[in-house]
Amino acid sequence: MIKGLKICGVSDPETLNYILNHNHKPIMIGFITNYEKSKRFVEFEKLKDLINIDKKQVKFVSVLVNPDDEILEKIKDLNFDYYQLYDVNPHRTKEIKSKFKKKIITALTISSKDDVDKYKDYSEISDIILFDSKGYAKSESFDHSLLDDVPSDLSKMIAGNIQINDIPNFKNKEFIVDLSGALEDQYGKKDINKIDKLLNLLKKI
């Protein structure tokens, strides 16, 4: 059974409030914190105001690509429950978790079985392992069958150009499912109607 849903790349208060007040909320919302190449990137001052709200039991995730101490110090008091880390080695991951007292989602970008197997280096450190595509800011997919041998007891998340209509395919999988680009209009803005469709669909299955 799907473990829950994460909506990533929220960048405006209207969308955030809509999600938080929906009858079928996701378990997590992600915010692009330091990757300026992403159209979903939120500048610090805006981010600080955006997430300074009642989260209504939804977990807030700071999405970070190879973060340095400067950005980590800057955001350490913000309303985040998890840091989602891309391009961070196990030693540095452990260091960040210990110093900043946040739960960690380690994001692995996948194109081969060797990429998948890297989860073993993080399984004792990270709270959740995210298997994503190599696309970073772009919504790209990867062969999800590469994950078939990942242990069922590993806390894991899956991303990579997953579409709303793909959700039923995951109903017997032990994943948190992470969507971003599939919930946007042609201009890259989050689409309330698509978010509503997704949240209602997840409730049904």
158: pLDDT strictly greater than 80? yes
Per-residue pLDDT reduced to its tens digit, 56-83: 999 999 999 999 999 999 999 999 999 9
Q: What is the per-residue DSSP string for 53-77?
A: S--TTPEEEEEEES--HHHHHHHTT
> Where residue 188 falls among pLDDT bands split at 50, 70, 90?
confident
The pTM of the full predicted model, rounded to 2 decimals, is 0.94
Per-residue pLDDT reduced to its tens digit, 113-154: 999 999 999 999 999 999 998 865 555 678 888 998 999 899
Whole-number average pLDDT of the chain = 93
Tokens at 48, concatenated = 């600080």
Compute how many other C-beta atoms are within 10 angstroms of the C-beta atom of residue 53. 13
Identify the pLDDT of residue 102.
97
